[in-house]
Amino acid sequence: MSDVFLLPDPGEGLTEADIVSWKVAAGDAVTVNQILVEVETAKSLVELPSPHAGTIGALLVEEGDTVAVGTPIVRFGPVGGEDTAPSAAGASEADAAEAAEAPPAEAPDESSGATLVGYGAVASSSKRRPRKAPADGGAAPAAPATAAPPPDDSSAAGQAPPRAEAAHDGRPLAKPPVRKLAKDHGVDLATVTPTGEHGQVTRADLLAHLDSDAAAAGARAGAPASADAQAAGGEREERIPVKGVKKAMANAMVASAFTSPHVTIGVDVDVTGMMDLVRRLKAERALGDDVRVSPLLIIAMAVARAARRHPYMNARMDGDEVVLRHYVNLGIAAATERGLIVPNVKDADGMGLAELCRGIGELVEVARSGKTPPAAQSGGTITLTNVGVFGVDWGTPIINPGESAIVAAGRVQRRPWVVDDAVVPREVMTLTASADHRVVDGEAISRFLRDIADVLEDPVRLVF
């Protein structure tokens, strides 16, 4: 018999997670709190620690799989043996059913079940029964042992390098990334000629196999396969599953767009005064050597202060009521490799420039690492998105769910501008604001946007 580690409940109403990379392999000895696997929820990347010390018997799911909360993902115990795990494809249902049938423990045990952000054991245990032999007398298939190379120095120290599991059921040897690539292209690894150590199928072997298949397909069609088609494994289209953060963002945007009637208003702003202030703060290091000053900082402060003066832009709709919030949790839309997330600076309206700058800097840095905690992404009241950083002039952003407005800041560029009846070059940007027309009307949005514009034109207003 052996213990299984169940995918913990991530909280925040989330019910599943994607397996990103395994940090261990079958046969590895692990210690308490050693990182087993990195998973991605709809909120962020999370590293799951081992609830106890022992040996990894098998990894029950593969990298790239989407797994429901409560699904067994790791079996502790001897590699192989009488309770050999099923293949990853069938492990989830079988192990979940067995875990559900297991009687609850009367005392705290070393089984898993804590939330994703927790560590250590909880007071329940799930034991697995020995597998019954198949009707034909063959051995039950063994689960693939998957392990990915650590992406950076954040991996736990002393972990074994990734390796292919010795197949007990006649399956070809291959590392998890190779298995996933083969699965994505519908290739049976048994048809690939291995050149790796101990007969292991390498990535180069698989790519060569894909190239030969593409060439053969081209020859059958009476024309040679193109270089592009060969590079894509003979496919002219690629399907990428929408998971994790990107899936959550997509669902949230659909819900917002079809729930809140959006109205968007824009204004061109002479921000020469704002840019002069930014240059001065940088040159004099007035906010401290560790503070990175940027136009986004001044815009963020202007939005936070304006939201406090125009509470309906900072409100939310709750049934037949409008909830006015007398605090401003300013969301900063951050584009990351794993998708768009919107962490927020709590009580941004009461911060000075230096404090707000540090708050924004910390949010963006953590967001880009993919490890923003759920608490930092909840409770936002209004959002700012900086499309100008991509060289874009303006946009019509979609409101973040639970809020009533979002401001988009375009790029700053020199334009001819009329000042005192004379045309002079000035630094100009476009601000747009989308708002929920159930909560505010065009007048309220216009006054709010004009308030922000006035501050950016004359930043001295920030001290009022």
Tens digit of each residue's pLDDT (9 = 90 or more) over 66-82: 888 889 999 998 875 44
Whether the per-residue pLDDT at 433 is higher than 80: the answer is yes
| Cβ neighbours, 10 Å, residue 444 | 17
Mean pLDDT of the region 151-164: 41
The confidence score (pLDDT) of residue 106 equals: 37
The confidence score (pLDDT) of residue 210 equals: 83
- Mean pLDDT estimate for the chain: 77
Rounded to an integer, what distance in angstroms lies between the CA atom of residue 367 and that of residue 330?
A: 15
Mean pLDDT of the region 427-431: 97
Q: Quick one: CA dihedral 358, 364, 366, 371, positive or negative?
A: positive
Write out the two tokens for 410.
Answer: 């375009």
Distances (CA, A) of 400 to 308, 381, 412: 18, 9, 25
Q: What angle do CA 134, 138, 141 make, to 5 degrees?
A: 80
Rounded to an integer, what distance in angstroms lies between the CA atom of residue 373 and that of residue 367?
A: 9
Distances (CA, A) of 458 to 269, 304, 463: 11, 16, 11
Prediction pTM value: 0.57
pLDDT tens readout for residues 17-30: 888 889 999 889 99
Q: How far is CA 23 from the centre of its chain?
A: 19
Residue 233: pLDDT band (50, 70, 90) is low
The confidence score (pLDDT) of residue 329 equals: 96
- What is the CATH architecture of 4-164? Beta Barrel (2.40)
Listing DSSP states for 249-318 in one string gives: HHHHHHHHHTTS-EEEEEEEEE-HHHHHHHHHHHHHTTT-TT----HHHHHHHHHHHHHHHSGGGG-EEE
Q: How far is CA 346 from the centre of its chain?
A: 21
| Cβ neighbours, 10 Å, residue 150 | 16
Annotated domain spans of the chain:
4-164, 172-241, 244-463
In single-letter form, the type of residue at position 14 comes to: L
Rounded to an integer, what distance in angstroms lies between the CA atom of residue 393 and that of residue 428?
A: 10
Write out the two tokens for 26.
Answer: 């079958």
Instruction: Return the CATH superfamily for domain 244-463.
Output: Chloramphenicol acetyltransferase-like domain (3.30.559.10)
Mean pLDDT of the region 246-259: 79
Rounded to an integer, what distance in angstroms lies between the CA atom of residue 393 and that of residue 265?
A: 14
H or E stretch including 218? helix 203-220
Hey, what CATH class is 172-241 in? Answer: few secondary structures
Q: Quick one: CA dihedral 208, 211, 215, 217, positive or negative?
A: positive
Mean pLDDT of the region 6-15: 75
Residue 188: pLDDT band (50, 70, 90) is confident
The confidence score (pLDDT) of residue 93 equals: 43
Q: At what angle do helices 295-309 and 272-284 cross, to 10 degrees?
A: 120
In single-letter form, the type of residue at position 218 comes to: G
Cβ contact 84:139 at 8 Å: yes
Of 179, 176, 128, residue with least CA distance to 23: 176
Q: Hey, which residues are catalytic here?
A: 437
- For the chain, how long is the longest CA-to-CA vector? 94
| Cβ neighbours, 10 Å, residue 248 | 19
Listing DSSP states for 119-161 in one string gives: -S--S---B-PPPPPPTTSPPPPPPP------SSTTSPTTPPP
pLDDT tens readout for residues 162-178: 444 445 456 788 877 77
pLDDT tens readout for residues 84-129: 434 443 444 444 444 444 443 333 333 344 434 333 333 333 333 3
Query: In terms of pLDDT, which residue wins out, 265 or 83?
Result: 265
Tokens 């969301």 identify what position?
A: 331
Residues 6+ apart with CB under 8 A from 379: 329, 344, 346
Residues 6+ apart with CB under 8 A from 364: 332, 334
As a whole-number percent, the residues of the chain with pLDDT over 90 amount to 35
Of 326, 309, 263, residue with least CA distance to 452: 309
The confidence score (pLDDT) of residue 80 equals: 53
* 48 three-class SS: strand
For the chain, give me the number of helices (H) and strands (E)? 10, 21
Residues forming beta bridges with residue 68, ordered by sequence position: 16
Rounded to an integer, what distance in angstroms lies between the CA atom of residue 195 and that of residue 201?
A: 6
| Cβ neighbours, 10 Å, residue 280 | 11
